[in-house]
Amino acid sequence: MATRELYLVDGHAHLEELGDLQESLQEAKEAGVCGILAVGMDIESNKNILQIAEANTQYVYPALGYHPWKIKEEEVEANLSFIRDRVRKCVALGEIGLDYKIKAKKELQGRVFGDLLEIAFESNKPIIIHCRYSHQRTFEMVKEKKIEKAVFHWYSGSINLLDEILSRGYFISATPALVYSPPHQEAIKHAPIEKILLETDTPVSYQGREARPKDVQVSLGEVARLKKLDPLIVAERTTANASFFFHVPFQPQVSYSICC
How much is the pLDDT for 5? 76
How much is the pLDDT for 102? 84
Residues 6+ apart with CB under 8 A from 22: none
- Stated as kind and residue range, the H or E segment containing 53 is helix 43-55
> What is the residue extent of each domain of the chain?
3-250
Report whether 182 contacts 167 (CB < 8 A).
no
Q: What is the pLDDT of residues 39-77, one digit of tens each?
A: 999 999 999 999 999 999 999 999 999 999 999 999 999
Q: What is the pLDDT of residues 195-235, one digit of tens each?
A: 999 999 999 999 999 999 999 999 999 999 999 999 999 99
The residues pairing with 7 across neighbouring beta strands, listed in sequence order, are none
Spatial distance between the Cα atoms of 183 and 161, rounded to a whole number of angstroms? 13
Mean predicted lDDT score pLDDT of the chain: 95
The residues pairing with 258 across neighbouring beta strands, listed in sequence order, are 4
Please determine, for residue 156, whether its predicted confidence score (pLDDT) is greater than 80: yes
Q: What is the pLDDT of residues 78-124, one digit of tens each?
A: 999 999 999 999 999 999 999 999 877 999 999 999 999 999 999 99
Cβ count near 78 (within 10 Å) = 11
Match domain 3-250 to its CATH number in 3.30.70.580, 3.30.450.20, 1.10.3720.10, 3.20.20.140. 3.20.20.140
